[in-house]
Structure 1
Amino acid sequence: MADDAGMKVDEVVDGRGLFCPGPLMELIKSIQLKPVGTVLAVLSTDEGSAKDIPAWIQKVGQEYIKTDKKDGYWEVIVKKIK
């Protein structure tokens, strides 16, 4: 799967319909199981995720790539770097 900019997404974490911190918790569970270099797209209908996920990613030393507003949800792209 590739996002609109052509970046290869390895894993989609679909947290749509979950309230904060649900999408972040789903990301935490998923990222722990993935190898370094994995690019994840987190989908969330909770607006707070657009701020919370990038803040958490930077806090734990992973790579925040971007956030896009889609049709009714946000897509946050992150990369596991350690």
Structure 2
Amino acid sequence: MFSLEVSQEARNWLAEKGYDRAMGARPMARVIQDNLKKPLANELLFGSLVDGGQVTVALDKEKNELTYGFQSAQKHKAEAAH
């Protein structure tokens, strides 16, 4: 299991990218696929989230793209113990 925290700026970015005047919110599925599901898949299957953990998604304003922070469950537990 993992938790996902998405900053308000990242949510706004997703909403802007996922909406089209002509198509409404139909592009949202692709935006979520490309910008959330795909980046998380490798971490869940092979990376730091194999045993669960925490994901933080934020917006890099300079690059106008999302950034991802991954913290494994083991590291999260160790930090909580201190």
Q: Is the pair's TM-score, using the shorter chain for normalization, greater than 0.5? A: no
Structure richer in helix, relative to its length = 2
Normalising by structure 2, we get a TM-score of 0.29
Q: Which has the larger radius of gyration?
A: 2
